[in-house]
Amino acid sequence: MAQRKGQVVTVEKLGNIALVAVDNPPVNALSHAVRAALTEAIEALDADREVEVVALYAEGRTFIAGADIREFGKPPVPPFTIDVCRTLENAATPIVAVIHGTTLGGGLEIALACHARVALDGTIVGFPEVTLGLIPGGGGTQRAPRVTGITSALDLITTGKRIGAHDALTLGLIDEIASGTPRDVAISSATAVLSGNLATRRIGQLTVTPDPDAIAAATDTLRKTSPHHFAPQKCVEAVAASTLPIEDGIAAERAIFLECQASPQRAALVHAFFAERAVDKIPEKGTPPRVLEALAVIGGGTMGSGITTAALLAGFPVTLAERDGESLEKGRAAIAKNLDGAVKRGKLSEARRTDILTTSLKTTTDLADLAGADLVIEAVFEDMAVKTEIFGALDRVMKPGAVLATNTSYLDIDTIAAATERPGDVIGLHFFSPAHIMRLLEVVVAQKTTADVVATGFALAKRLGKIAVRAGVCDGFIGNRIMSHYRKVGDYLVMDGASPEAIDDALEGFGLAMGPFKVGDLAGLDIAWASRKRLAATRPADERYIPIADRICEAGWFGRKTGKGYYVYDGPTPRPNPDVAAIIAQERQKAGIVPRTFSAEEIVDRYLTAMISEGARVLDEGIALRPVDIDAVFLFGYGFPRHRGGPMFYADTIGAAALVERIKTYAAQDAYFWTVPPLLERLAAEGGTFAALNAD
């Protein structure tokens, strides 16, 4: 039979062997077209008397990488994955799956429904559905335990972890590992089935030994480790049903799957998945980046050494510049410590660590030694005079065409660029601490930054394994600008009646990893104190000022590092600082405020409304390209809970009109802080959504 070119599924017959190839680039997602064509092909081959064995494989970089996530949330169209799996498993003709690349979710379910599985060396398998708020819905929760046992299936399905072919073989998820092209291995595997050298069976006919203790233990653990997440417990429920006869188990799985499909967490998690990929769709996308071979970093402090570590881990040679030998030594020690951490986490070999420190990392106190770098990142402290002086010097020494980047978190990059004769080469690359771990990189585009320099910023992020988000110049860019705004809400709430711990608890209940007062204690309260003192002269007269944090700092309590801050750190768990409660009471009294109570819901509402409001202003001013860019900044740089999708996604779940109403209510107490952003007003008037702005 001739191949049907351009089809998502093609059939090729070689005597009594039939090869079925899936070809749906880029990742062979199990779209409706693939499900339908696969069903049709298998049914036809099963009825074909000439065919004695079928081998199913995929073209391109991977076997089926899962369900087509773009179809989630849309009305499902049969045949469903579960139907395709039933067709495969029930076929009278033996079917062997030959898998490669990332065989995930629906791809692994298809493979488990075949009668034998051969994986190419290097294959990765897993059930990532839980990370998208789902359970495997194509029989995975029923067939996986039948080969791996309940404990291993729970581990795979509730975590979404990906494992290599060798581990998959040990667990029984695959039968053999082979090397060669998928098509060649498909032919050899089909031949092995015919000769009896590769055994076939129907996994659905196996039985699972009940293990109520494992089910109870998983439920218990997940209650502690994933208290906010809906899907992990649902995975346990589905796996527990695998002790039933296969069709009953599949019916239970289907009901649970549909429950997950309908959950708001599923929509948020899918949004987060696409957010990660949407942010690189920028106006400069088609512009080729400049060559990036050697990097330079100026400043060996926390940020500079973190950035240098990230670049070294990505394989770049880096020259680190500092003003004196002592600072250089500190920087080098910090980098060595970061690399040690990478060795401990299994990300780096001991030999590679030594190699990086002896050959890839160079240090200097002379900026002239950076001349040959393709891109230099300045990461000295936040002082405009120091930065402009450095950029003036870089202008004199760097080779033509080098990208001159600043890691400033707040300062005006146009002013920094103006200190050079080549403002087109200047860009902001705002890393987040610890820079070798945090995934976010704000690529800040100044007025004169050229398109290829922007493209180079994005190319660098990719090489560093980071998620780049395009931002415009303003005080704090996307993330810090929005954060400076909503952070004030915490102080206002404390002054008006909430305790810091009640605010932390409410926001942790919403899903933030750590409440804002705990974060303050961790970061050191003295940092924000210094910045408040610096900005005191320019603070708007109408802005409400809450002096509580100043009083805490005046007492010498800077948070964890001094043993006391909003909390006292004298035992295994921090406890609220009673002296802070006294300061709060005094300040309220001085201001004539009678404290009122705030429910957790009201705390979260005010906090999130402030975040969304400033997000809307950032969008309106063109600082962020789309709402999804703001979501990505908060998801990947500020610990916003993934299952909430990001602040702008969350905004749509409330609705623009309701948000406007909230702001108007809050404005009755503080009309300076709470103003309705024009964009939100427009969306409320038109019944518009932030999601629609992503699509524009």
Active site residues: 109, 129
Instruction: In angstroms, give the least distance from the CB of 68 to ligand COA.
Output: 4
**Of the two residues 28 and 409, which places its CB atom closer to ligand COA in the complex?**
28
**Of the two residues 70 and 223, which places its CB atom closer to ligand COA in the complex?**
70
List, in sequence order, every beta strand (DSSP E) within 239-340.
Answer: 295-298, 318-321
Instruction: In angstroms, give the least distance from the CB of 105 to ligand COA.
Output: 3
Instruction: In angstroms, give the least distance from the CB of 67 to ligand COA.
Output: 4
Residue type at 329? E
**Of the two residues 191 and 287, which places its CB atom closer to ligand COA in the complex?**
287
The dihedral built from the CA positions of residue 318, 324, 325 and 329, taken in this order, carries a sign that is negative
Neighbours of 668 (CB within 10 A): 8
Nearest to 429 by CA among 307, 275, 292: 307
**Of the two residues 68 and 496, which places its CB atom closer to ligand COA in the complex?**
68
Backbone phi and psi for residue 11, each to the nearest 5 degrees, phi listed first: -120, 135
Binding-site ranges for ligand COA (CB under 6 A): 26-27, 29, 65-70, 102, 104-106, 128-129, 132, 277
Full strand arrangement of the beta sheet holding 403-406:
361-364, 318-321, 295-298, 375-378, 403-406, 426-431, 440-445, 467-472
Residue type at 164? G
Instruction: In angstroms, give the least distance from the CB of 100 to ligand COA.
Output: 12
**Of the two residues 70 and 575, which places its CB atom closer to ligand COA in the complex?**
70
Nearest to 684 by CA among 646, 656, 648, 651: 656
Is the omega angle on the peptide bond into residue 516 within 30 degrees of 0, that is, cis? Answer: no
Residue with tokens 């009305």: 75
For ligand COA, the nearest residue by Cβ is: 66
Instruction: In angstroms, give the least distance from the CB of 15 to ligand COA.
Output: 34
**Of the two residues 41 and 64, which places its CB atom closer to ligand COA in the complex?**
64
Instruction: In angstroms, give the least distance from the CB of 135 to ligand COA.
Output: 9
**Which residues, other chains included, contact 589 with Cβ-Cβ below 8 Å and sequence gap of 6+?**
none
- Report whether 66 contacts 107 (CB < 8 A): yes
**Of the two residues 157 and 656, which places its CB atom closer to ligand COA in the complex?**
157
Distance, in Å, from the CA atom of 88 to the CA atom of 82, rounded to the nearest integer, reads 10
Instruction: In angstroms, give the least distance from the CB of 50 to ligand COA.
Output: 35
Instruction: In angstroms, give the least distance from the CB of 123 to ligand COA.
Output: 12
Is the omega angle on the peptide bond into residue 500 within 30 degrees of 0, that is, cis? Answer: no
Backbone phi and psi for residue 233, each to the nearest 5 degrees, phi listed first: -65, -35
Indicate the SS3 state at residue 576.
strand
**Of the two residues 91 and 130, which places its CB atom closer to ligand COA in the complex?**
130
- β-pairing, 375-378 vs 295-298, is parallel
**Of the two residues 108 and 402, which places its CB atom closer to ligand COA in the complex?**
108
Nearest to 339 by CA among 323, 318, 321, 364: 318
The dihedral built from the CA positions of residue 177, 180, 181 and 185, taken in this order, carries a sign that is negative
Distance, in Å, from the CA atom of 196 to the CA atom of 167, rounded to the nearest integer, reads 25
- Which tokens in the block code for residue 499? 């305790």
- Report whether 279 contacts 271 (CB < 8 A): no
DSSP string, 381-396: -S-HHHHHHHHHHHHH
Instruction: In angstroms, give the least distance from the CB of 548 to ligand COA.
Output: 45
**Which residues, other chains included, contact 66 with Cβ-Cβ below 8 Å and sequence gap of 6+?**
27, 29, 30, 104, 105, 106, 107, 128, 129
Instruction: In angstroms, give the least distance from the CB of 319 to ligand COA.
Output: 30
Q: 57 - beta bridge partners?
A: 21
**Which residues, other chains included, contact 76 with Cβ-Cβ below 8 Å and sequence gap of 6+?**
none
**Of the two residues 65 and 370, which places its CB atom closer to ligand COA in the complex?**
65
The dihedral built from the CA positions of residue 298, 299, 303 and 309, taken in this order, carries a sign that is positive
How far out from the chain centre does Cα 33 lie? 29
To 10 degrees, what angle do helices 479-496 and 516-523 make? Answer: 110
Distance, in Å, from the CA atom of 133 to the CA atom of 661, rounded to the nearest integer, reads 31
